[in-house]
Amino acid sequence: MPEATTVHTTSGAGVQLADGYFQGYAVVGLLAAIGVIFVAVAFGAGRLLRPVVPTPEKLLTYECGVDPVGEGWAHTQVRYYVYAFLYVIFAVDSIFLFPWATVFAAPGFGAATLVEMFIFLGFLAVGLLYAWKKGVLEWT
């Protein structure tokens, strides 16, 4: 006759683990709520305590001490935004190289990481060549 087997449940340990897990998030949530309340109280106090005396001079647009003349619309060169956009792309993408460098040193990940890094750098090179061919990098 087979022996009876005992089934061990870990529901008690699982509940304790879940309590500790959610307790960490409760602390973060409490700190976030305190921060939101602090900011709301500061803005509310500022609104209640500041003097409100609107005058035509206060309602004018202020630009570096010069009275506004003409329309509010100004033409800007798009190429400056393109330069800024290219800088952001390459600055952010270069950040991805640092984690790869740390993984590359780990045993067992060297060859795969090296291939991934060269594929990533290839995409960056293609994007840079495309920008160069389109004349985006010409400062005129």
Q: Give the model's pLDDT for residue 29.
A: 92
In angstroms, the CA 136 to CA 89 distance is 14
How does pLDDT run along the chain (140 residues), one tens digit per residue? Answer: 555 555 455 555 555 656 667 777 888 999 999 999 999 999 999 999 999 888 887 777 766 766 667 676 777 777 777 778 778 877 877 777 777 777 777 777 777 777 888 888 888 888 888 888 888 777 66
CA-only gyration radius of the chain, Å: 30
Q: Give the model's pLDDT for residue 45.
A: 96
Q: Which residue from 77, 99, 93 is spatially nearest to 127, judged by alpha carbons?
A: 93
Helix (H) or strand (E) holding 103: helix 97-104
Q: Give the model's pLDDT for residue 140.
A: 66
